[in-house]
């Protein structure tokens, strides 16, 4: 061992090894067995906090200033500090400081909470077995290799391998609700050889080491091996995820367990899963960044132009330094280049408000606060589940209004995933449970209708086997309490009530169906499955092995030994994965029935069996144990082993289970279609079932022409030909359609629906051998898809779903995609799509956890997109445009003023105005607008999905509208500046002859500015609640009150009093009032005119509906007023003309 | 700023730490109007029909206002005379050539002019400067408001902003800074030449030319208005006069202690920096005479100028302006014209909109409302 110890010391380099060795109870293995590399493991301290007391300030500052915007403002602030700039550093320092401090306090507080939570977790007591006694330890002191005692309802302190439990069979029940939200109980198994050691004394005598992989975040994967030294003879046993108890999960229904710690602290799977998801950015954010770049260019060019002009202007020394305005000596000494550079920076500082700090704050506040409306939405609350919509990220609110493609899962999303057993068919004879009266199951009414009677003796045997197979071949648990939130199905069995629980609702439906047909699965007891058969006799089967279900194989098997001693393998799975492995049985009859059922939208499963001779069984056992012991590629080897075992099957029959459509699924899909969104269904189900669901959910209509791109077709023709065929069909139609593309959904042209299956998709996506051809396939495929109104992809593996999403995302138009699903198999596509939505279904919480938004039901997608998405998009696009607009209005007059003050960087406005303009005078109205605005009523948006098309393709943030806003801003700035200029032009405008100075000039411009900008927003507001009134008029009043106060007092802390009485003097002058009114009117005029004329001449659908509803509401009165007014106008005209 | 990104990570932490199942109870959102976004609201929509009246109303209001303003402005008498003396035939030519900012001897010149029409009511006398950048940044900030407010410590130790006009030798300058230093120091005296060619001085009032608040609050002499000399000379430290000045600040108007030192009105007027490079400042007021005689009857006048202020070096101009004032201030046709223009545009647009409204709006509202 010395060598291993030596190695152990220099673990630093050894950390990379891909497996770790754990000594249970820290007992060294007997010498000479194997030289393990002892590693050093972290302690069990959970650190979810980011900062410590010491590094908080530097680390937090670093984090914050890593954002480009913050960094930009920091630079501006530093420039202001260093050089002599026109505005005091306070103007940009204060907002920045405010933002940084608020963020830091918020993050600090959150971190403090995390510290507290961490401490609570780290210090909570844990029972550890040491020297045969149970001692209490703080959780954080737990080390890898410690043997831990966990009692019922306690949470596991770290990742543990189960050694023994209070139950004789060495199992324990666990709920992982806090990990993945699945509240059903899961069974975990102790290592067979140690399950007998179930007191602390005995546990302490276990002498074993565990080899396992290094920690990895996948919750459902674990491979390891335990070496137990009995009499110094190592026995190796496999360890899998069924032995691994995860930190965060809770022990249920089991008195206590003993387990050994293998991953601790930050290496537990829970901790590893906290890695944040990759950042998704919305289209609005992208255009905002593009605008920022434009404005940055404008800013720099403004500064450059002004600097250049300054030096041209200054070339005359009498202008540069007239006798009344000399430089200091130090300034004169400075090199001209340094001076020019300083001037450039000073101009940058002067104009930097064009990119305001507050915009980022406002946008983030809008997103954050706005997302509450989604959570608060009563209509998206589901009574049944008791769940409401969840917002995991508020960054994508507006993206909901931009969706062009919806990728939806079928099971659990479109359908309820609430399975009901409909029928089974054994060798072509169909059995239907008849005990359904008005949808209610009659207790104890075990019987059936045989549609096709008279089975022969051989069939009788098959029938018996079939029912037993369905009773045995599953992983359903029987729960005898009703505390479970999961799937509850009461079975009355004597006195106690019990439920079937399973992670797969299909299995529950099947077992229940069997019960109705007379075979009741009672329990799994001591490795024996008990069945109550039709004659009310209990049959017992030894459960020898379970070949668990996975989505690649799409089947599962059990190996059982009947009381007669015969060993059976029962296999249940999708037809496509069973039929190729069947060697006998009435394949054709069953297949016909399966296909018929599939067309009706039922989920079908085939059941087959194989009788294993003792030799075969031995062989199977060896195959399995060898694969299970493997440390590397265990999954692959297991799959191979399963493949070898599940063969030569004899077909018994098939089952059909109905999965009902979610309520209003069809209505939702229709609305999405009308909204111009393409809906794709991606499912793992088989084509016929999926297609039936698609018809039922109105994805395909009766007149939809279905194009198939499936294995069946590609077997007949080459993929190449099929693709070109299809594209020709589609394009021919499309060519005829181009004429009226703009009319939207024209009724008479045929819709196309495409069905593609997983295998063909792989072929399409496969990087081609000839290089050029493959890209061609992809493009052809995309072209076909683009012209189809609906696409159904069946037989999809989870990764393929993501691939499809990626393919569409990367296509030319870069459409915005949305993926919606409820299961773990949808996670990849949810993460891939621009917006990922999780449905709170029955397949656990994985999808919800990884999604951006989660909704209780599929139908809520309609409101989510058509109402919330639409609103958020309208709101945020106005927010962004308005922010740039108001800052153009704000800064452009300063730019113009430079031409009249010798390019000396003299600010037009007072420091207080510069600072507060974006913070308090104009910030709240737009924020509240962007939270409250409803340009159209919610109900109309829902009723009329077409309106969604009006905002498609980021229409409100395109360059033309951006330019319009900017031009409007520049126009307003020019009106304001030159209006004031001509008013001031060499004259007085007071009645006592006194003159005003430059600060009055600035204040006049600023007053007009604040009012114009606020009124502009008021004109854009379509939804005036009292809050809007309060905020809009309130901020104007605040501006006036502030100005009165600011100029009303000699502020002792200021070393200038330039604003003293300026505002009041200005208001005491009549012409100032007149010019304020005039300039505001003149500034607003073009925008009003543009709005009105565009609305009259080129109205969008939205605008038409607005007018329509408005006319309906108060049209009557308005019409009369207009009529009278019209007459008056005519009369005035008439008189004028006559005179 | 970074909040939302971080908040997201934190959400992950929290949901992990707290038990997810416990919170499931009673999650039904409150059914309040605010949370359901159903607050009662006024939903106005700008259509041609609804803004039509506004346009006409604006037009009908603005045009009369504009006419009123224009007429008022036209009724104002204004007379302006440039006495810079840049051309050789101007009476102040020699002064303009000789005077520099540090010349000690004053130079005198006189300018004759004729008022064609009499000036009624109060007449305001301005001096105007052109091409003088009082709004240059270096200039605007070159002052110490604390010092001007009579703060003794600032008097002894003026603000850095006053550089290079902060100290003269070792002594602090009072008032410091470029603005004060370049105080306009021409004096203008107006004589009326009556029919028998005798000159009579027109009485010029030098009070009430500065803002009341400036004179009484913003500007204060250190240690009160009595004994200014002591305040500026002996108060522990003595101060120096601004470099360009001929006399110290406490000698600006020795005759009137209420108009001397920092509260001298000419000084206060100058200290309010102008907005644009061409500006005028109120110099004197000619009070209306009792009775019906006009304040300034038509006829010949002579302006006696003590020419101290050099402007030719930076290509500047000096003017003397006489103006009457209405309720809307001096002569400025801009506002009236602008009002008339905007009013007519509104009226015109109103007509255009009326046409549009009748041609298109009805069609839109009636025909195209989708079901």
Share the mean pLDDT of chain B: 84
Residue in A204, A343, A409, A575 annotated catalytic = A409
pLDDT band at A1023 (very low <50, low <70, confident <90, very high): very high
B87 plus B56 within the same structural domain? no
Q: Which residue of B has its CA nearest to A898?
A: B136
* Rounded Cα distance, A851 and A24, in Å: 39
For residue A1116, the model assigns a pLDDT of 56
pLDDT band at A102 (very low <50, low <70, confident <90, very high): confident
Q: Mean of the pLDDT values across residues B57-84?
A: 93
Q: Which of A368-372, A800-804, B184-188, B344-348 has the lowest mean pLDDT?
A: A800-804
Complex ipTM, two decimals? Answer: 0.92
For residue A1084, the model assigns a pLDDT of 94
Q: Which of A148-157, A552-561, A727-736 has the lowest mean pLDDT?
A: A727-736
Q: Mean of the pLDDT values across residues A97-105?
A: 83
**Binary contact (B140, A906; C-beta < 8 A):** yes
For residue A497, the model assigns a pLDDT of 54
Measured in angstroms, the CA of B185 and the nearest CA of chain A are apart by 13
* Rounded Cα distance, A582 and A634, in Å: 27
**Binary contact (A177, B285; C-beta < 8 A):** no
B310 plus B245 within the same structural domain? yes
How many domains are there within chain B?
Answer: 2
A400 plus A473 within the same structural domain? no
* Rounded Cα distance, B69 and B55, in Å: 21
Q: Mean of the pLDDT values across residues A304-323?
A: 89
Mutate to test the interface with B, among A324, A326, A850, A1050 (most CBs of B within 10 A): A324
Beta bridge partners, A405, equal: A678, A817
* Rounded Cα distance, A610 and A558, in Å: 11
> Is A347 within 8 Å of A306 (Cβ atoms)?
yes
> What sign results for the dihedral spanned by CA atoms A538, A539, A545, A546?
negative
For residue A466, the model assigns a pLDDT of 87
Strands, E assignment, A822-933: 835-839, 853-855
* Rounded Cα distance, A603 and A588, in Å: 18
Q: Which residues of B touch A1050 (CB under 8 A)?
A: 149, 217-218
Q: Mean of the pLDDT values across residues A1100-1127?
A: 69
Closest CA to A863 of A375, A280, A368, A367: A375
A711 plus A837 within the same structural domain? yes
* Rounded Cα distance, A536 and A87, in Å: 93
Q: Which residue of A has its CA nearest to B353?
A: A1093
Share the mean pLDDT of chain A: 81
> Is A958 within 8 Å of B237 (Cβ atoms)?
no
Beta bridge partners, A757, equal: A794
Q: How many CB atoms neighbour CB B250 within 10 A? A: 23
A244 plus A269 within the same structural domain? yes
Report which of residues A437 and A1036 the model is more confident about. A1036
- Report yes or no on B282 lying in a domain: yes
Domain range spanning residue B280?
80-325
Annotated catalytic residue A409: yes
Residue A1032 has pLDDT above 70, yes or no: yes
Q: Which residue of A has its CA nearest to B124?
A: A993
For residue B286, the model assigns a pLDDT of 93
3-state secondary structure (DSSP) of residue A844: coil
For residue A1122, the model assigns a pLDDT of 64
Q: Which of A242, A273, A304 is the last residue of a domain?
A: A273
Integer distance in angstroms from the first to the last C-alpha of chain A? 120
**Binary contact (B364, A1118; C-beta < 8 A):** no
B72 plus B128 within the same structural domain? no
> Is B21 within 8 Å of A177 (Cβ atoms)?
yes
HSE-up (13 A, CA, CB side) for residue B307: 27
Q: Which of A855, A877, A896 is the last residue of a domain?
A: A855
3-state secondary structure (DSSP) of residue A336: helix
* Rounded Cα distance, B115 and B322, in Å: 10
* Six token digits for residue A511: 């077992």
Residue A554's CATH number: 3.40.1110.10
B286 plus B353 within the same structural domain? no
Q: Which residues of A touch B42 (CB under 8 A)?
A: 1024
How does pLDDT run across A12-39, given as a tens digit for each residue?
Answer: 334 445 778 888 888 777 665 555 566 7
Closest CA to A1020 of A913, A864, A883: A883
* Rounded Cα distance, A1003 and A1006, in Å: 5
Q: Which among B36, B161, B278 is the nearest to A377, CB-wise? A: B36
Q: Which residues of B touch A372 (CB under 8 A)?
A: 35
- Report yes or no on B30 lying in a domain: no
Measured in angstroms, the CA of B196 and the nearest CA of chain A are apart by 33
3-state secondary structure (DSSP) of residue B202: coil
A601 plus A529 within the same structural domain? yes
A822 is an annotated ligand-binding site residue? yes
- Report yes or no on B25 lying in a domain: no
* Rounded Cα distance, A114 and A213, in Å: 30
Per-residue exposure over A755-777, b if at least 16 CB sit within 10 Å of its own CB, e if not: bbbbebbebbbeeeeeeeebeeb
For residue A713, the model assigns a pLDDT of 75
- Report yes or no on A542 lying in a domain: yes
pLDDT band at A813 (very low <50, low <70, confident <90, very high): confident
For residue A298, the model assigns a pLDDT of 92
> Is B111 within 8 Å of B303 (Cβ atoms)?
yes
B145 plus B94 within the same structural domain? yes
A686 plus A810 within the same structural domain? yes
B260 plus B208 within the same structural domain? yes
Residue A407's CATH number: 3.40.50.1000
A569 plus A583 within the same structural domain? yes
Q: Which residue of B has its CA nearest to A998?
A: B275
Report which of residues B180 and B46 the model is more confident about. B180
- Report yes or no on A1005 lying in a domain: no
Q: Look at chain B and count its residues.
A: 371
Percent of chain A at pLDDT above 70?
A: 87
* Six token digits for residue A921: 């005078």
- Report yes or no on A81 lying in a domain: no
**Binary contact (B3, A368; C-beta < 8 A):** yes
B269 plus B120 within the same structural domain? yes
> Is A170 within 8 Å of A156 (Cβ atoms)?
no
Report which of residues A523 and B213 the model is more confident about. B213
Residue A192's CATH number: 2.70.150.10
- Report yes or no on A881 lying in a domain: no
Report which of residues A209 and A887 the model is more confident about. A887
- Report yes or no on B5 lying in a domain: no
A474 plus A430 within the same structural domain? yes
Beta bridge partners, B301, equal: B113, B192
Per-residue exposure over A257-266, b if at least 16 CB sit within 10 Å of its own CB, e if not: bbbbbbbbbb
A539 plus A650 within the same structural domain? yes
Would you tell me the crossing angle of helices A89-123 and A68-82 to the nearest 10 degrees?
130
A603 is an annotated ligand-binding site residue? yes
Q: Which residue of B has its CA nearest to A98?
A: B1
CA A114 to chain centre: 24
Distances (CA, A) of A1110 to A56, A1104, A1117: 55, 10, 12
Cis amide bond preceding A545, omega within 30: no
How many domains are there within chain A?
Answer: 3
Measured in angstroms, the CA of A661 and the nearest CA of chain B are apart by 25
Measured in angstroms, the CA of B99 and the nearest CA of chain A are apart by 13
CA-angle at A285, arms to A281 and A288, nearest 5°: 155
B98 plus B236 within the same structural domain? yes
Domain range spanning residue A721?
390-414+676-732+751-762+777-855
Q: Which of A217-221, A302-306, A571-575, B63-67 has the lowest mean pLDDT?
A: A217-221
- Report yes or no on B43 lying in a domain: no
- Report yes or no on A372 lying in a domain: no
A593 plus A684 within the same structural domain? no
Mutate to test the interface with B, among A994, A1004, A1077 (most CBs of B within 10 A): A994
Dihedral pair phi/psi, residue B46, rounded to 5°: -80, 105
Closest CA to A913 of A1052, A1018, A1009: A1009
- Report yes or no on A632 lying in a domain: yes
Residue A624 has pLDDT above 80, yes or no: yes
Residue A1055 has pLDDT above 50, yes or no: yes
Integer distance in angstroms from the first to the last C-alpha of chain B? 44
Q: Cβ of B292 under 8 Å from any chain A Cβ?
A: no
Report which of residues B195 and A875 the model is more confident about. A875
A549 plus A595 within the same structural domain? yes
A426 plus A528 within the same structural domain? yes
Measured in angstroms, the CA of A882 and the nearest CA of chain B are apart by 18
Residue A761 has pLDDT above 70, yes or no: yes
A650 plus A704 within the same structural domain? no
Report which of residues B166 and A395 the model is more confident about. B166
- Report yes or no on A1104 lying in a domain: no
Mutate to test the interface with A, among B2, B51, B204, B369 (most CBs of A within 10 A): B2
Q: Which residue of B has its CA nearest to A852?
A: B8
B71 plus B145 within the same structural domain? no
Task: Please state whether beta strands A520-525 and A490-492 pair in parallel, antiparallel, or not at all (unpaired).
Answer: unpaired
Q: Which among B141, B357, B365 is the nearest to A1111, CB-wise? A: B365
* Rounded Cα distance, A986 and B82, in Å: 14
Task: Please state whether beta strands A390-391 and A171-175 pair in parallel, antiparallel, or not at all (unpaired).
Answer: unpaired
**Contact residues, B window 127-186, toward A, CB-based 8 Å cutoff:** 128, 132-146, 149, 159, 161, 163-165, 178, 181-182
For residue B268, the model assigns a pLDDT of 94
- Report yes or no on B20 lying in a domain: no
For residue A1008, the model assigns a pLDDT of 96
- Report yes or no on B262 lying in a domain: yes
B353 plus B273 within the same structural domain? no
- Report yes or no on A718 lying in a domain: yes
Q: Which residues of A touch B122 (CB under 8 A)?
A: 993
Task: Please state whether beta strands A244-245 and A159-165 pair in parallel, antiparallel, or not at all (unpaired).
Answer: antiparallel
Q: Which residue of A has its CA nearest to B128?
A: A986
A572 is an annotated ligand-binding site residue? yes
A507 is an annotated ligand-binding site residue? yes
Mutate to test the interface with A, among B29, B55, B82, B205 (most CBs of A within 10 A): B29
Strands, E assignment, A730-885: 752-757, 790-794, 817-821, 835-839, 853-855
- Report yes or no on B29 lying in a domain: no
For residue A330, the model assigns a pLDDT of 84
B190 plus B313 within the same structural domain? yes
Measured in angstroms, the CA of B17 and the nearest CA of chain A are apart by 7
Closest CA to A1088 of B42, B50, B364: B50
Q: Which among B10, B58, B325 is the nearest to A1081, CB-wise? A: B58
Residue A304 is inside which H or E element, if any? helix A283-314
Q: Which residue of B has its CA nearest to A849?
A: B12
Residue A297 is inside which H or E element, if any? helix A283-314
**Binary contact (B37, A934; C-beta < 8 A):** yes
For residue A253, the model assigns a pLDDT of 76
Measured in angstroms, the CA of A994 and the nearest CA of chain B are apart by 6
Measured in angstroms, the CA of A424 and the nearest CA of chain B are apart by 37
Q: Cβ of B193 under 8 Å from any chain A Cβ?
A: no
* Six token digits for residue A888: 């153009």
**Binary contact (B49, A1118; C-beta < 8 A):** yes
Q: Cβ of B236 under 8 Å from any chain A Cβ?
A: no
Q: Which residues of A touch B2 (CB under 8 A)?
A: 63-64, 67, 70, 103, 107
How does pLDDT run across B235-252, given as a tens digit for each residue?
Answer: 566 888 898 898 888 888
Report which of residues A1050 and A5 the model is more confident about. A1050
For residue A774, the model assigns a pLDDT of 53
Mutate to test the interface with B, among A102, A179, A325, A867 (most CBs of B within 10 A): A325
B114 plus B59 within the same structural domain? no
> Is B313 within 8 Å of A316 (Cβ atoms)?
no
* Rounded Cα distance, A946 and A671, in Å: 8
**Binary contact (A388, B29; C-beta < 8 A):** yes
Q: Mean of the pLDDT values across residues B292-311?
A: 90
């Amino acid at each position: 061992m010395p060598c291993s110890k030596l190695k152990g010391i220099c673990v630093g380099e050894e950390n990379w090894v891909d497996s770790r060795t754990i000594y249970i109870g820290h007992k060294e293995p007997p010498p000479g067995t194997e030289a393990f590399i002892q590693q050093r493991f972290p302690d069990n301290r959970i650190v979810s906090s980011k900062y410590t007391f010491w590094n908080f300030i530097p680390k937090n500052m670093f984090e914050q200033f890593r954002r480009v915007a913050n960094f930009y403002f920091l630079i501006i602030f530093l420039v202001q500090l260093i050089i002599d700039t026109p505005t005091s550093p306070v103007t940009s320092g204060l907002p920045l400081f405010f933002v940084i401090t608020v963020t830091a306090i918020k993050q600090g507080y959150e971190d403090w909470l995390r510290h507290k939570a961490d401490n609570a977790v780290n210090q909570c007591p844990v029972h550890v077995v040491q020297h045969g006694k149970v001692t209490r330890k703080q959780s954080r002191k737990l080390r890898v290799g410690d043997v831990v005692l966990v009692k019922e309802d306690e949470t596991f302190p770290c990742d543990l391998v189960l050694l023994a439990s209070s139950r004789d069979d060495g199992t324990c029940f666990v709920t992982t609700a806090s990990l993945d939200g699945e509240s059903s109980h899961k069974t975990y198994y102790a290592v067979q050889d140690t399950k007998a050691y179930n007191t602390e004394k005995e546990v302490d005598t276990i002498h074993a080491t565990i080899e396992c992989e290094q920690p990895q975040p996948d919750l459902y994967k674990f491979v390891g091996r335990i070496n137990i030294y009995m009499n110094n003879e190592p026995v190796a046993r496999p360890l899998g995820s069924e032995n691994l108890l995860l930190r965060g999960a809770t022990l249920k229904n089991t008195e206590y367990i003993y387990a050994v710690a293998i991953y601790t602290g930050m290496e537990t799977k829970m901790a590893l899963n906290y890695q944040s998801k990759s950042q998704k950015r919305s289209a609005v954010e992208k255009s905002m960044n593009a605008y920022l770049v434009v404005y940055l260019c404008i800013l720099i060019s403004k500064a450059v132009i002004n600097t250049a002009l300054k030096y041209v202007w200054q070339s005359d020394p009498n202008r540069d330094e007239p006798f009344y305005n000399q430089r200091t000596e130090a300034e004169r000494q400075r090199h001209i280049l340094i001076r020019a550079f300083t001037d450039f920076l000073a101009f940058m500082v002067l104009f930097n408000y064009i990119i305001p700090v507050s915009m980022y704050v406002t946008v983030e506040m809008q997103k954050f606060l706005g997302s509450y409306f989604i959570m608060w939405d009563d209509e998206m609350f589901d009574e049944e589940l008791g769940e409401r919509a969840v917002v995991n990220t508020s960054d994508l609110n507006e993206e909901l209004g931009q969706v062009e493609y919806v990728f939806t899962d079928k099971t659990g999303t479109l359908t309820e995933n609430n399975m009901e057993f409909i029928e089974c068919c054994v060798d072509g004879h169909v059995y239907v449970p008849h005990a359904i009266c008005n949808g209610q199951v009659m207790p104890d009414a075990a019987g059936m209708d045989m549609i096709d009677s008279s089975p022969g003796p051989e069939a009788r045997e098959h029938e018996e086997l079939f029912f037993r197979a369905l009773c045995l071949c599953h992983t359903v648990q029987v729960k005898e309490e009703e505390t479970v939130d999961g799937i509850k199905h009461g079975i009355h069995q004597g006195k106690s009530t019990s439920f079937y629980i399973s992670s797969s609702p299909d299995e529950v439906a099947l077992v229940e169906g069997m019960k109705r047909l007379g075979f009741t699965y009672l329990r799994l007891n001591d490795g024996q499955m008990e069945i109550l058969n039709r004659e009310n006799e209990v049959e017992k089967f030894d459960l020898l092995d379970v070949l668990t279900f996975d989505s690649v194989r799409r089947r599962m098997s059990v190996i059982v030994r009947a009381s007669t001693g015969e060993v059976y393998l029962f296999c249940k799975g999708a037809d496509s994965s069973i039929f190729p492995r069947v060697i006998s049985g009435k394949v054709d009859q069953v297949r016909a029935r399966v296909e018929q059922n599939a067309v009706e939208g039922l989920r079908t499963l085939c059941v087959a069996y194989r009788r294993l001779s003792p030799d075969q069984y031995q062989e199977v056992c060896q195959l399995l144990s060898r694969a299970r012991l493997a440390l590397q590629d265990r999954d692959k080897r297991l799959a191979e082993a399963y493949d070898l075992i599940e063969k030569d099957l004899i077909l018994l029959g098939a089952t059909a289970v109905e999965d009902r459509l979610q309520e209003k699924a069809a209505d939702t899909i229709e609305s999405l279609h009308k909204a111009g969104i393409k809906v794709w269904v991606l499912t793992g189900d088989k084509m016929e079932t999926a297609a039936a669901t698609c018809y039922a959910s109105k994805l395909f209509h009766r007149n939809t022409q279905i194009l198939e791109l499936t294995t069946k077709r590609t077997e007949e023709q080459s993929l190449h030909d099929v693709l070109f065929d299809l594209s020709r069909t589609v394009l021919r139609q499309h060519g005829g359609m181009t004429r009226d593309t703009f009319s939207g959904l024209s009724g008479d042209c045929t819709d196309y629906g495409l069905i593609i299956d997983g295998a063909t998709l792989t072929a399409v996506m496969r990087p081609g051998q000839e290089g050029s051809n493959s890209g061609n396939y992809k493009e052809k495929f995309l072209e076909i898809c683009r012209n189809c109104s609906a696409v159904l992809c069946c037989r999809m593996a989870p990764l393929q779903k993501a691939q499809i999403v990626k393919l569409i995302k990367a296509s030319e138009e870069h459409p915005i995609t949305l993926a919606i699903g409820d299961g773990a198999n949808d996670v990849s596509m949810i993460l891939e799509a621009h917006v990922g939505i999780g449905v709170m279904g029955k397949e656990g919480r994985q999808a919800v956890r990884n999604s951006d938004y989660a909704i209780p039901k599929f139908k809520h997608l309609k409101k989510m997109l058509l109402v919330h998405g639409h609103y958020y998009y309208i709101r945020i696009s106005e927010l962004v445009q308005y922010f740039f607009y108001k800052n153009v209005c704000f800064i452009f007059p300063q730019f113009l003023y430079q031409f009249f003050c010798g390019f000396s960087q003299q600010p037009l406005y007072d420091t207080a105005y510069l600072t507060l303009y974006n913070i308090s005078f104009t910030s709240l109205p737009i924020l509240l607008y962007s939270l409250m605005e409803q340009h159209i009523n919610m109900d109309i948006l829902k009723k009329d999905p077409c309106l969604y098309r009006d905002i498609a393709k980021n229409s409100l943030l395109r360059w033309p509208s951006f330019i319009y806003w900017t031009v409007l801003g520049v126009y307003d700035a020019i009106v304001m500046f030159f209006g004031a200029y001509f008013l001031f032009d060499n004259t007085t405008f007071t009645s006592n002859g006194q003159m005003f100075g430059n600060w009055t000039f600035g204040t006049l411009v600023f007053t007009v500015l604040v009012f114009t900008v606020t009124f502009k927003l008021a004109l854009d507001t379509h939804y005036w609640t009292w809050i809007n009134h309060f905020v809009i008029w309130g901020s104007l009043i605040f501006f006036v009150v502030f100005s009165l106060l600011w100029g009303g007092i000699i502020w002792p802390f200021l070393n200038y009093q330039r604003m003293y009485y300026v505002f009041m003097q200005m208001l005491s002058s009549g012409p100032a009032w007149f010019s304020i009114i005039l300039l505001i009117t003149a500034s607003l005029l073009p925008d009003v005119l543009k709005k009105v004329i565009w609305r009259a001449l080129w109205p969008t659908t939205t605008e038409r509906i607005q007018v329509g509803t408005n006319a309906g509401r108060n049209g009557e009165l308005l019409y009369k007023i207009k009529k009278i007014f019209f007459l008056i106008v005519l009369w005035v005209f008439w008189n004028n003309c006559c005179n | 700023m970074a909040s939302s990104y971080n908040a997201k990570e934190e959400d992950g932490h929290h949901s992990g730490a707290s038990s997810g199942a416990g919170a499931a109870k009673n999650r039904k959102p409150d059914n309040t109007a605010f949370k359901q976004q159903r607050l009662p609201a006024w939903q106005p929509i700008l259509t041609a029909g609804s803004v039509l009246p506004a346009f006409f109303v604006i037009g009908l209001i603005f045009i009369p206002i504009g006419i009123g303003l224009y007429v008022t402005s036209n009724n104002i008498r204004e007379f302006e005379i440039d006495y810079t003396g840049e051309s050789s035939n101007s009476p102040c030519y020699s002064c303009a050539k000789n005077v520099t900012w540090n010349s000690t001897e004053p130079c005198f010149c006189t300018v004759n002019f004729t008022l064609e029409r009499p000036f009624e009511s109060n007449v305001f006398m301005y001096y105007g400067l052109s091409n003088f950048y009082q709004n240059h940044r270096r200039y605007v900030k070159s002052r110490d408001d604390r010092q001007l407010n009579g703060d003794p410590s600032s008097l002894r130790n003026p603000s850095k902003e006053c550089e290079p006009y902060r100290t003269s030798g070792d002594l602090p300058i009072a008032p410091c800074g470029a603005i004060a230093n370049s105080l306009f120091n021409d004096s203008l005296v107006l004589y009326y030449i009556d029919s028998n060619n005798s000159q009579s001085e027109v009485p010029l009032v030098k009070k009430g030319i500065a803002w009341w608040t400036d004179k009484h609050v913003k500007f204060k002499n250190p240690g009160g208005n009595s004994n200014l000399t002591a305040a500026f000379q002996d108060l522990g430290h003595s101060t120096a006069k601004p470099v360009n000045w001929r006399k110290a600040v406490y000698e600006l108007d020795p005759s009137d202690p209420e108009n001397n030192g920092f509260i001298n009105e000419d000084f206060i007027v100058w200290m309010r920096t102008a907005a644009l490079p061409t500006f005028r400042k109120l110099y004197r007021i000619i009070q209306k005479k009792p009775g019906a005689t006009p304040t300034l009857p038509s006829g010949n006048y002579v302006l006696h100028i003590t020419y101290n202020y050099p402007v030719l070096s930076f290509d500047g101009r000096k003017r003397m302006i006489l103006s009457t004032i209405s309720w809307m201030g001096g002569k400025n046709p801009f506002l009236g014209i602008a009002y008339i223009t905007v009013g007519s545009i509104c009226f015109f647009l109103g007509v255009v909109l009326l046409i549009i409204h009748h041609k298109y709006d009805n069609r839109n509202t009636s025909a195209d409302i989708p079901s």
